[in-house]
A = this chain, B = another copy of it.
Amino acid sequence: MALWFDETYGGQIRFGLKLKRSIFHGKSEYQSVDVVETEVFGRALALEDAWMTSERDEAHYHEMIVHPALTVARRIERVLVIGGGDGGTVREVLRHAEVKHVTMVELDKMVVDACREHLPAFKVPWDDKRLTMRFEDGIAYLNNYKGELYDVILIDGSDPVGPAEGLYSSPFYESAKKCLTKDGVLVSQTESPIAMADDFARIVKTLRTSFKRAEPFFVPIPLYPSGMWSFTFASDALDPQAFDEARAKRIEDGARYYNRDIHRAAFAQPSFVRKLLG
């Protein structure tokens, strides 16, 4: 019997992978959590029947949510990751030797537990002494935060529906900004400019009301609806193209997707995107 796992988006598009086997299935307080094994994408994680990440393409996502921010921000000692339960984002953050402290705030402990056990190929340094894990709501965490400011904040949340909806709103960005240094950088995943064109445009425009500049950039993520994904670089002080050459070079050497050419190229906007944001 051939087993397939399909994500259906908006009742109109579906993307499926043939499974070798199901590895983990759980139901947390927030969502269903699945880890499956596939032929072409290796092991993959799905939440609420939506593909999240896979061994084959996770580097595209995780390198690109991290390195444009961490090669441009001047100081990168203190980094906050909201979401990112599979650990790929903190793994890439921790590749920067200048990072002294990463806090990861993930709502759903079951995601971290499942990934830690069943996605060993992600090679997340969960026991790195620089990493602090907190299992709580990222919005509440930032609202109540009274500690030292962060140099970089990365929003690695799921789609803006359900539990993650508030991560893409003006009050959340204002609250994040209060926890960020003056020349800090915030990068968020901001959906597909094709499959979720309205959400994409709304979120980028919302970021532009909170930050002096907010520039989207684009990355192919085969697992996600339409395959063309966006992140947005938001900052009051910094040009997303002005990366630290030496830092970028060091990261490039061990990267599967990111390099300096890609950093420069990713911010080019197709004409339909210019129109959406126009």
Contacts and interface: CB of A to CB of B under 8 A. Distances in A.
Interface of A: 4, 6, 10-18, 38-40, 56-57, 59-60, 194-195, 218, 220-222, 226-228, 252, 255-259, 261-262, 264-272, 274
A274 B262 CA distance: 12
A17 B12 contact: yes
A124 B261 CA distance: 36
A201 to B, nearest CB: 16
B228 A257 contact: no
A10 B41 CA distance: 13
The copy count of this chain in the complex is 2
B257 A264 contact: no
A226 B41 CA distance: 10
Contact of A270 (B10, B17, B259, B270): B259
6 closest A-B pairs by CB: A227-B227, A265-B268, A265-B265, A220-B228, A261-B268, A222-B226
Contacts of A266: 265, 268
Nearest to A261: B268
10 contacts: A6-B14, A12-B18, A12-B39, A57-B194, A195-B222, A220-B227, A226-B227, A262-B271, A264-B265, A264-B268
A266 B266 CA distance: 9
A17 B6 CA distance: 12
Given A256-B271, A262-B268, A40 B13 contact: yes
A222 B17 CA distance: 16
A10 B18 CA distance: 10
Contacts of A14: 4, 6, 14-17
A266 B265 CA distance: 7
